[in-house]
Chains A and B, each alone.
Chain A
Amino acid sequence: MSDRLEVLKTYKTYVGGKFPRSESNRIYRIENPGGKHIANACRCTRKDVRDAVVVARSAFDGWSGRSAYNRGQILYRIAEMLEGRKDQFVNELELLGAKKKNAQKEIEISIDRLIYYAGWTDKISQVFGTVNPVASSHFNFSMPEPTGVVGIIGPDESPLLSIVSLVAPVIACGNSCIILASTENPLSAVSFGEVLHASDVPAGVVNILTGNRDEMVNHLTTHMDVNAIFNAINDSETKKQLDENASISVKRVKHYSQSDWSEEKHENPYLILDFMETKTTWHPVGA
């Protein structure tokens, strides 16, 4: 150890391709299991949630309009950037009390998972789209399209891997999203924002908020301009509340609480389809 005084990081949020603090200027303490202060995290508010939704909505058109090839390249780029910052994430997880070996494993799976989903972007409509042999003289085909703005509610476990597992399928097909990071473990999510920022992900496609999740979750899930909810919290009261909130504007809800985020089953195209709509186009056939 040198005598040099370490530079600590100010953890902020990631919204619209920028790193703003909460508009409220509120923070809360993040400590390691031994009670040592590690950092201050932003305690976001209803207004932060609403600002993030506006930003996500305006990013949706551009992102869903990108070619599937381009989205795949960008997802692959996120993996590349994460690979280069492995040590940073391992250190961060260790600071919060994780074992080095587990931390390393979490990063590696996260990187590989991003690559898995990068490969789906230009295959999902080939595998799940159809040409439909209608009986009348029409040409008719069905293609999956992104649902829109997705609210993601992150769990407390595997703070990096869980966020990657939730975000990758959602953005692979062209949705934009707002993530409510774990209240206890928000730091990896914020750092992941820095990776996204360096990966050509357009501003506003992924927005990450920290704070007291219970304060924000109702504002996010009752927002009329959110189309779908991807929830990883396993609490029956919360789930019921989310379902009820969703019914206000017929949001799609996917509950996906998991005990082990490292399992391979989290890599599958059906998680992408959960955030897609099928559009069917008809055209007459004639001379």
Chain B
Amino acid sequence: MSETKEKTSADATNGSPKPTSPNADLKLDFASFWEYSSAPESSDFVEINEKYNHFINGEFVEPEKGRYMKSINPASEEILTEFAEGTSEDVDKAVQAARKAYNKTWSKLSGRERGKYLYRIARMIQERSRELAITETMDGGKPIRESRDVDVPLAAAHFFYYAGWADKLEYAFPGRKPEPLGVCGQIIPWNFPLLMLAWKIAPALATGNTVVLKPAETTPITALKFAEICSDAGLPDGVVNIVTGAGQTGSAIVNHQGVDKIAFTGSTEVGKIIQKSLAGTYKKYTLELGGKGPNIVFEDAPIDQTVEGIINAIFFNQGHVCCAGSRLLIQEGISERLIQKLKDRMETLIVGDPLDKNTDIGAINSKAQFEKINEYLEIGVNEGAEIYQSKCDLPENGYFCRPTIFTGVGQSNRIVREEIFGPVLTIQTFRTPDEAIEKANNTPYGLASGIWTDKGSKIFKVGQKVRSGVMWSNTYNKFDPTSPFGGYKESGIGREGGLHGLYPYVKLN
């Protein structure tokens, strides 16, 4: 035995390298040999009004104080539209309209009829899908491929899914009779504007509630187009009210006496402020907050599939994803090879015009977010981490960020602990599953995580020990209306999606 072993090792170290394929060192070099012709989606037939007002009680109404804000296209920095800045007067009007609609019409309708309205809305989203996708991309900067293939179809699917629940609620809660809460105040973020609207409005209406929703101040347009859809669908006045504005408008909704429930998606920082301001009230609330998702790769993972998964986990939607896999944890034995493959793959990513169908990474959503990401890049470098960015060209105008990875980081580094919300990945290594679990859980967050291995039993073992609301095994960033989503620990309270997503909108008797 010892003889054979010696022989092998002698072979391997006998001066000459191991025989490999003559092409072993070659890799696809997209940058120099491949030129993609531009393939922009035409925005010609998409109409964006010069000015948008609040949608209250079935009508577009001017803001009481007459103030407007601007929404820009982050890829060109051009102004797209002006929209109303909501004050507490506007919010009050909207809440009153929602209350009236709840008392007079919506709570009197049968579940079946409510469901039929939701089906109508779902269909109309499908019918206007192209327009909605282009608008979403122009207003928010996300690649058209994502808004076309993910955001808009999923938004429609959410309405279809919850439409079917409206007349079947008695089957959802064993031993209990569900009743609606009343008026729901809903505040949504800028990363998936229409999709987050669907996550909020569909279950609320299906369970018999009425809604006052505020879209984010950088991405209000699709919500206002959704208001048009509500009108077209003949939804009774006041069932859905859209009030636009920034943080103060949101705060007016949270603190309004006439609101029975608050649903918020956004940062943990703001979530805590909301939770605090709801203290001592009887308002129900759900919070979908930040994350710092661990993406754990074991040595037995299928490596090329894993590389695709890592790319999708952190660079999907420019990394503006609360459940992004922003902390890569690699088992030591494969880390060098995996990181090299990851770098090679990053070089092929196309960063640029969000409306171009070839674009992989679009524009950073806003100037503020762009500055925040750049600040974190600086922090990472100052903390002594090693930065690697793909060498792609960036457009001259607009807010764009190269896909970035940091190696040589430690658990206590700020770029490892804090949510960056951009295309920035930190990479750490581990030796044993226990160490991976320990590192994965060493965070106040607990929204989502990923695990890559060929061994099923390892998925179940590690998956059980990692404290997060979503566990993507051998995949990442997948969403579906039937699948509950939401965080452990400081990543939030409550679930959205699926049967579990009905709970936040009912009281059980």
Which residue numbers of A lie inside 8 Å of B, CB to CB? Answer: 127, 130, 132-136, 138, 140, 142, 145, 147-148, 224, 227, 236, 239-244, 246-250, 252, 268-270, 277-284
Contact = CB atoms under 8 A, between A and B. Distances in A.
B482 interface: yes
B41 to A, nearest CB: 24
Contacts of A132: 480, 482-484, 498
B271 interface: yes
Q: Determine which residue in B157, B444, B499, B500 has the highest number of CB atoms from chain A within 10 A of its CB, and name it.
A: B500
A239 B281 CA distance: 9
Given A244-B279, A268-B175, A280 B484 contact: yes
Contacts of A127: 174
B278 interface: yes
6 contacts: A130-B500, A249-B444, A278-B495, A279-B468, A280-B483, A280-B484
Nearest to B448: A280
A127 B172 CA distance: 10
Nearest to A239: B280
Given A138-B475, A280-B484, A282-B470, 11 more contacts: A132-B483, A133-B482, A135-B157, A136-B478, A140-B482, A244-B280, A250-B491, A279-B463, A279-B468, A280-B469, A283-B459
B473 A130 contact: no
Nearest to A132: B482
Q: Name the prevailing secondary structure of the A interface residues.
A: mixed
B391 interface: no
B106 interface: no
Interface of B: 157, 174-176, 268, 271-273, 275-276, 278-280, 287, 289, 444, 459, 463-464, 467-475, 478, 480, 482-486, 488-493, 495, 498-500, 508
A278 B484 contact: yes
Contacts of B493: 250, 252
Nearest to B154: A135
A282 B483 contact: yes
Given A142-B498, A247-B276, A250-B272, A284 B474 contact: yes
A130 B499 contact: yes
Contact of B480 (A140, A147, A236, A247): A140
B509 to A, nearest CB: 11
Contacts of B444: 224, 249
A282 B276 contact: no
B39 to A, nearest CB: 25
A281 B463 contact: yes
A246 B271 CA distance: 12
Contacts of B278: 243
A140 B475 contact: no
A244 B492 CA distance: 15
A283 to B, nearest CB: 5
A127 B171 CA distance: 12
A250 B280 contact: no
Nearest to B490: A250
Contacts of A142: 483-484, 498, 500
B472 A282 contact: yes
A148 B273 CA distance: 23
Contacts of B480: 132, 134-136, 140
A278 B469 contact: yes
B271 A250 contact: yes
B279 A282 contact: no
A227 B475 CA distance: 29
Contacts of A250: 268, 271-272, 275, 287, 289, 489-493
Contacts of A282: 470-473, 475, 478, 483
A240 B278 CA distance: 9
A241 B279 CA distance: 7
A19 to B, nearest CB: 31
